[in-house]
Each structure stands twice: as C-alpha cells, then as structure tokens.
Amino acid sequence: MIQLHAVSKTFDSGPLVLDEVSLTLDEGAFVSLLGPSGCGKSTLLRIIAQLEHSTSGSVEFGDGLDVRSDISIVFQEPRLLPWRSAVDNVCLPLELAGDSSKEAGLDVLELVGLEDAIDKFPNELSGGMRMRVAIARALVTNPKVLLMDEPFAALDEITRERLNDELLSLWQGRGWTVVFVTHNVSEAVFLSEDVVVMTKNPGRIHSRERIQFDGDRTSRLRGEEQYGKRVVQLQSLLRDVFHDAD
C-alpha cells in the first residue's frame, strides 16, 4: 500500500512538473496513470521508485513494505545488458544482492514463456521477447509492487496486445500491486481497474476512473461492446482534459 502526500516536483530551475499530487494505491490493485506526454506521470512513477526525489510532499509505504526489495520497476526500454544471456540478465538483481543461484531466474523465464530462450542473448531476441526478459527480471525478486513505465510503447500493436494479455493473466494469478504508466487509452482500460487521469502544465490528477466489467477480464474482452464503450468514453474525457490544458 502506497500513499503519496502532496508530491510536487520541479527539475532544477525548470517549470513545475508535478503540482501537489496526492494518491492512494491499495494493495493488489492494478492502477494506470494515464495522460498526455509531459504530464509528469513517468516522473511520478520514478519518485515512487525512489529514482527521483520530490521537491516537496512525501511518499509513504505501508507496513512491511521495503522499498529496495519489494518494489520492482520495468522501464520503457528493456535495458538488458547485451553481454549477458537472458537468464543472466534476469538473475542480475539477485546476483547483485549476493545470490548466485539461477533457479528463480529459470522459473520466472518459464513464467513469461521464454523457457526456450534462457541462453539466448539480447541480440538474438525480438523486441517483444526482450521486453519479456525485462519483466521477468522485475519479477525475479518476488516483488510486492510492480512499477511499469510505458513498457509496451515501443512495440507493435500485435505484440503489445499479446503482452497485455499475458501481463493481465500473470497479475490475476499473483496479485501484485501494479502501477502502470501509459498514454494508450485502450491499454489502460483493458488492464486496470483504476485509471488515474492526469493533466499537464503542471502535472495534476484530473480524475480517477473506476473500470469494471461484467465477467472476468480475458483477451476476449477486447471484442465486447462494454469494453469499446468504456474506451470511447475515456478517450473523450482525455480529449477534454487536453482541451482544458491548452
């Protein structure tokens, strides 16, 4: 469980990027941060990950939540080390913590469907596969919270949808808290129960939309009318937000 209290951020002598953002993230929730480019959503994620410091305000972590070991982050680029095989890349966090066993790495690679690629190197993997390795690496430490910063933005639509499906089903099985940054409305609607809509100049929370569907979420959801309606709704909301911001 994570709480943000009036988090503001200014970079050096630049403009205000985040303006007193307050947010509560419940345990086990899948929350998307949705908004136009430049609204500070990535910055917010990085502040939660402690890669940036807020200029004012604070981030509170619930009991028993250790930032270093319970929170994992997945970036937009896979950020794999080219001289390490898939399994060695995945095991990097454990290795740096002093644990040299490969078991967990192999398990998690199987989880993301790459059991046949464990000894392959990044230059031998497709973009989608590399992203899976990156996700596997984030999962190898058994995190409670998964932070994802537009992880599928650089992939083609087919691959993106496939990975969305797999991520969804993994989350449904494991129950991590996921904070997912995206600018893609359909992705946000598909994946998350909660969409936090942000505006920019400066970055603020505009509204928080609850996304609920009848029946379980599966890949079939994309063909359903309820899904399409919700997407259109949110898109027009975003358009208004855009309009107001300019």
Partner 1 sequence: MTRIRSAAKQVWPPLLLALLFFAAWEAVVSLSGNRNLQYILPQPTHIFAEAVKHWEALRGATWNSALMALSGFSLSLITGCLIAFIMSQAKWVERSAYPYAIFLQTVPIVAIAPIIILWFEAGRQSVIVISFIISLFPIITSTTTGLTHIPREWDELFTVYDANWWQRLIKLRIPTAVPFMINGARISAGLSVVGAIVGEYFTGLSTGGGDDFGLAYLLMSTQADANYSYLFATTFAAAMMGLCIFGGVNGISKWIMTAGHFEEV
Residues that bind partner 1 (CB under 8 A): 49, 51, 68, 73, 75, 77, 79, 81-84, 92-93, 95-97, 121-123
146's enclosing H/E stretch is: strand 145-149
Residue owning tokens 């208004």: 240
Closer of 60 and 124 to partner 1 (Cβ): 124
Q: How far is the CB of 141 from partner 1 (least distance, A)?
A: 9
Q: SS3 for 4?
A: strand
Q: How far is the CB of 98 from partner 1 (least distance, A)?
A: 10
Q: How far is the CB of 96 from partner 1 (least distance, A)?
A: 5
Closer of 5 and 84 to partner 1 (Cβ): 84
Q: How far is the CB of 226 from partner 1 (least distance, A)?
A: 38
Q: SS3 for 194?
A: strand
C-alpha 191/C-alpha 164 separation (Å) is 7
Distances in Å between the Cα of 84 and the Cα atoms of 102, 111, 124, 178, 215 are 13, 20, 11, 27, 42
Closer of 66 and 214 to partner 1 (Cβ): 66
Closer of 96 and 158 to partner 1 (Cβ): 96
Q: SS3 for 60?
A: strand
In terms of Cβ atoms closer than 10 Å to its own Cβ (0-12, 13-18, 19+), residue 162 is: middle
Q: How far is the CB of 101 from partner 1 (least distance, A)?
A: 16
Closer of 51 and 232 to partner 1 (Cβ): 51
